Amino acid sequence: MSTAVVAGRPAAVLTLPALPALPALPARFERVPAVAAVALLPWLAILAACHETPWVVLDLLEFAALVSLDALLRRRSAAAFWAGGAVALLLAGDALADIACAGPGHAVIAALVMALCVELPLATVCLLLGRAALVRR
């Protein structure tokens, strides 16, 4: 018996709701994940030299997710939607952890600036890129 019919009923078809219209990102934004991944490499080297293992692992996950998102965007895969979400989740978590673990004074300010100027805008771009890949399908 086919898996499409169970107990005489057709299988439910998963449909996504219509996505609201958002302004489209320029095509040059599709290279942002690759550029961000390359820009992350020197920071990974610094963290590794300082023996900051938990942060190295988190940033390696971000690197892998950014490279995966870039590869899926190049292939015009609908899976880029999920990769964009994964990258955004990792970046938002990293920003939150940086702020929560920062010491008092300048360290908190540096963590906030990094979160607001780099990590969260990059997370937003990755979400929009993933969404655009789904809308194109």
Q: Which of 133, 102, 137 is nearest to 24 (CA)?
A: 133
Q: What pLDDT is attached to residue 1?
A: 45
Mean pLDDT per segment of 10 residues, for the chain of length 137 residues? 54 61 76 96 94 94 96 93 96 96 93 96 94 77
What is the spatial distance between Cα 94 and Cα 115, in angstroms, rounded to a whole number?
8
pLDDT at 26: 78
- Distance of CA 76 to CAs 4, 30, 33, 112, Å? 28, 11, 14, 34
